[in-house]
Structure 1
Amino acid sequence: MDHFERLSRRHNFISKLSAAFFYALAVAVALNFFWHPGKIYASGVTGFSQVLESLSSRYLPFTLTTSSMYFVLNIPLFILGWLKIGKKFTLFTIIAVILASIMMKLIAPIKLSYDPIICAIFGGVVNGVGTGIALKSGISTGGIDVLGIILRRKTGKSFGQINIFFNLIIVICAGFVFGWTRALYTALNIFINGRVIDAVYTQHQKMQVIIVTEHPTEIVEQIQEKMHRGITILHDAEGAYSHNEKTVLITIIDRYDMYDIYNIVSKNDPYAFMSMSEVSKIYGRFIEQKPV
């Protein structure tokens, strides 16, 4: 048993480390291949780091590079993550940020397109995929991610929505520095980035599941054992066609639990009826999965 536990921990560590490396590569490619050439600001701390680089190159005798400022601006957020989220989570966040800072510096800028719209679209997609995979693996990419995770727990808002809200100030900065046409491209990039993050990182998406079954006991036991979800049980339901007595089960799950609950229901009652619908807001007690 200890052997399997060690293997599981090692696999978990390698998975998180791989996600951190993939994110670092994705943000560096997005920055040096699309955002810098297209004069477009990124979202979050990366965008603020670009703002500082632009302002320092114009008004200071030295330039604060995006790669160095990305790390510096994340330091206070490391402390916040350590205190509010978790130590292991924050350690992998630090690894992701360090790798990203190094990649931003090492990967040489290449102008793949002169079209700022193409730069905005591809930059947002590449970075959004990298960020979403990192979050899905239980690590953060620093900056707005840390604030987003904390606020998502408090408000129930999607991560992409929080990300877009915090980045409005970057759009304004892009307008003053590069012109309001570039601000439009920056807004497009941030919007695409947020939507891609939401598409990849589905933990925050909740589903309401309604199950009509003649074998509720086994289904309830396995859902609670495997998924640790509360269930509302409605007895004495009647099927209109067969007039058999049935039980209705209602529960809320994370989207990535859909496959598990489908297998539980189909295994215990192949003739059960089950429907799922996305939930926009939840009030009351719901256990949010914590990063590990």
Structure 2
Amino acid sequence: MIAKIEKKLDHYYYHQFMGAVLYGVILAIALNYFWKPGHIYSSGFTGLAQLIDTLTHGRVSVSWGIAAANLPLLLIAALKLSKRFAVFTALAVILSALFVPVFSTSIVLTPDPLICAMFGGALNGMAVGTALRFGVGTGGLDIIGMLFKMKFHTKVGSVNLAFNALIMVGAGLTYGWQYALYSIIGVVVSAHFIDVFYTRQQQIQEMIVTNKPEMMCEHIQQKMRRGVTIIDSAHGGYTGKDKAVLLTVVTQHELGDLREAIHEVDPHAFYSESKVEHTGGRFFEPEP
């Protein structure tokens, strides 16, 4: 039993480590191959580090800016979120700071700022969203976003978008206002891809029609930490048989486990899914 638990923990930490590595590599590629040649500023603290690098004429590099700007938030993450989350976030920040000069290149794939903004934003959103999905923070605004989400149930990508006005003004003053507009496009694309890849924050309401409500409820609660509401006395309009309707809310990340649980108990159960904009009350949020 103990060996099984240790194996599961090792597997979990392996995914977190790989999430940190992937984030560092993808961010470095986005910065060196798209943002720099396109004169595009990123969102969040990476964009702030780019702005500091520009204003200091390279005396404070992007790598140093990323590391220095994130230090206070890493301390906050350790206190307010979790120490484990803070450790892997620190790893992601350090790796991204190290990989930026490693992937530095003189190759220009395209000088088109619109293409650079869109592809750089997509890569950044994919990197951040994937890291968060594996329980790894990337520092900066995603920590602030997670704190806002815990408090106000606000999506991470939307919070990031709201905090980037200053960076866009810096882009406009430095390269010209057309590049600020291109950077805004990159930020919007990045925010969208964060919400696409960070499936833990996307909530799905599941309605299940079955003639095995008690077994279904028990199996779902055993498989995942989710409550189920049973509505008795439902009646099939076509079959004429009595049924029960079950309602539960899960995250997109848990949807596969829920479908598996439904199929294991009642392969003939009817179920439908719909996106949830907001939940109140006691909806369990897993530790980051």
* TM-score interval, smaller chain: over 0.9
SS at match of 2:151: helix
Residue among 90, 97, 100 paired with 1:94? 90
Q: 2: distance between equivalents of 1:248 and 1:12?
A: 35
Contact in 1 for aligned 2:23/2:92 (Cα 8 Å): yes
More moved, 226-235 vs 42-51: 226-235
Instruction: After TM superposition, give the deviation of residue 106 of structure 1 in Å.
Output: 2.1
Partners of 2:223 and 2:261 within 8 A in 1: no
Structure 2 counterparts to residues 1-292 of structure 1, below 5 A: 1-57=1-57, 63-109=59-105, 110-291=107-288
Question: For structure 2, which runs of at least 5 residues remain unmatched after alignment?
Answer: none
Deviations 1:148-198 (A, max 9, x none): 111112222221111111112211221111111000110011111111111
Q: Deviation string for 1:177-223 (max 9, x for gaps)?
A: 11110001100111111111111111110011111111001100011
Please give the TM-score of this superposition, normalised by the length of structure 1: 0.95
Q: Percent identity?
A: 37
Q: Distance in 2 between matches of 1:194 and 1:152?
A: 15
Task: Structure 1: give runs of 5+ residues left out of the alignment.
Answer: none
Offset of residue 20 of structure 1: 0.7
Decide which moves more: 212-221 or 162-171. Answer: 162-171
TM-score relative to the length of structure 2: 0.96
Give the aligned residue type for 1:67.
Answer: S
Which amino acid is 2:160 matched to?
N
Question: CA separation in 1, counterparts of 2:208 and 2:241?
Answer: 15
Note the aligned Cα RMSD (angstroms): 1.2
